[in-house]
Every structure is written in structure tokens, then in C-alpha cells.
């Protein structure tokens, strides 16, 4: 979700807002976040609206998949990682290649459809369809956040519920 993509990616403002809420949810729940930036020298850094405070790692990359040795090492440091949540751009390139590579390593992948886009809706649609057919879970930000707390009695439920209310107000 880098600056140079802003004019080209469909619904960029919406996916930025949803992505920011997901990052807030991750901070609330203490979930580690790994960010990669595709060739930031040419495409710019992550947009200002995305608050990267407290993320575990921010890495530049030229490979489309974000599964880099540094990312694999960071994942290995997190005890019991069985699944990951992906969002960003572009659905049919970086998201798709990352998801397929992670599944190939035995990790369950959840792609947040309302925080993921491409320049072309055709590319986005076919990528999400292909990923779903391979067993990757295509879901929404609200579903992910509520799945993470799993119960209204979760100690952080109210904070997560407030994030969801803000998303619904949009």
C-alpha cells in the first residue's frame, strides 16, 4: 500500500482505511505484523495513513512474494504460527504469490478481501477466485477481527467492537 499505487489501485482509499483498522486490531490483540514494501526506491514507502507503529518488521523487496528469508526467520520466532492474514496490493501479484508460497509451507492463509485490491477488478476477482479454489480463506476484515476474539467475553472484545463500528460507519 505504497504511495505510487494510490492513483492506480481501485478503491485505494477504502483498502487503506480497512488496512489501518486491521493494524489497530493487531496492536490491541498483540498480534505481530510484518510489512513488506515492493521496491520502495521506485514506488515509495507505505502511505502515511497506515500507522506502522509497533510492527515487527518492515522490509523492502523486489520479489513479488513477501516470503523472504527475513520474513521466514521472523515467522519462525513467533511461537505456534499456524495461520497468517494477508492484505494489500496487488491481489493478483504480491498477495497471490505470497499466499501460494505460504500455503506450500503448510501455513493457513486468510486474505482480507475488503483490504486487498488491484489496478484491474478483473485481475482482483480472478486472483481471489483462484486462491479460494486452492484452499485459501478469502474473508472480510470484520470476520477476521471477530474470529480473533472469538467470544464477547474476550478481554479486548469491546475495543475490537469499536473498531468494527468505525468500519461500518464508513
User: Average model confidence (pLDDT) for the chain?
Assistant: 95
Measured between alpha carbons, how far is 3 from 134 in angstroms, rounded to an integer? 31
Over its length of 170 residues, how does the chain's per-residue pLDDT go in tens digits? 999 999 999 999 999 999 999 999 999 999 999 999 999 999 999 999 999 999 999 999 999 999 999 999 999 999 899 999 999 999 999 999 999 999 999 999 999 999 999 999 999 999 999 999 999 999 999 999 999 999 999 999 999 999 998 877 66
Measured between alpha carbons, how far is 145 from 163 in angstroms, rounded to an integer? 9
pLDDT at 170: 63
Backbone torsion region of residue 12, taken as left when φ is above 0, otherwise alpha when ψ lies between -120 and 50, otherwise beta: alpha
pLDDT tens digits, residue range 37-71? Answer: 999 999 999 999 999 999 999 999 999 999 999 99
Q: Can you give the pTM of this predicted structure?
A: 0.95
Measured between alpha carbons, how far is 4 from 132 in angstroms, rounded to an integer? 28
Amino acid at each position: 500500500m505504497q504511495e505510487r499505487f494510490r492513483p492506480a489501485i481501485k478503491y485505494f482509499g477504502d483498502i487503506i482505511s480497512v488496512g489501518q483498522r486491521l493494524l489497530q486490531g493487531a496492536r490491541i490483540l498483540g498480534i505481530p505484523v510484518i510489512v513488506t514494501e515492493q521496491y520502495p526506491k521506485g514506488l515509495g514507502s507505505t502511505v502515511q495513513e497506515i500507522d506502522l507503529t509497533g510492527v515487527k518488521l518492515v522490509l523492502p523487496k523486489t520479489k513479488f512474494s513477501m516470503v523472504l528469508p527475513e520474513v521466514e526467520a521472523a515467522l519462525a520466532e513467533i511461537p505456534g504460527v499456524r495461520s497468517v492474514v494477508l492484505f494489500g496490493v496487488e491481489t493478483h501479484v504480491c498477495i497471490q504469490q505470497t499466499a501460494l508460497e505460504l500455503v506450500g509451507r503448510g501455513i493457513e492463509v486468510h486474505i482480507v478481501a475488503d483490504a486487498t485490491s488491484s489496478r484491474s477488478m478483473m485481475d482482483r476477482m480472478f486472483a481471489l477466485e483462484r486462491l479460494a479454489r486452492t484452499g485459501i480463506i478469502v474473508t472480510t476484515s470484520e470476520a477476521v477481527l471477530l474470529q480473533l476474539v472469538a467470544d464477547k467475553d474476550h478481554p479486548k472484545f469491546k475495543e475490537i467492537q469499536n473498531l468494527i463500528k468505525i468500519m461500518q460507519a464508513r
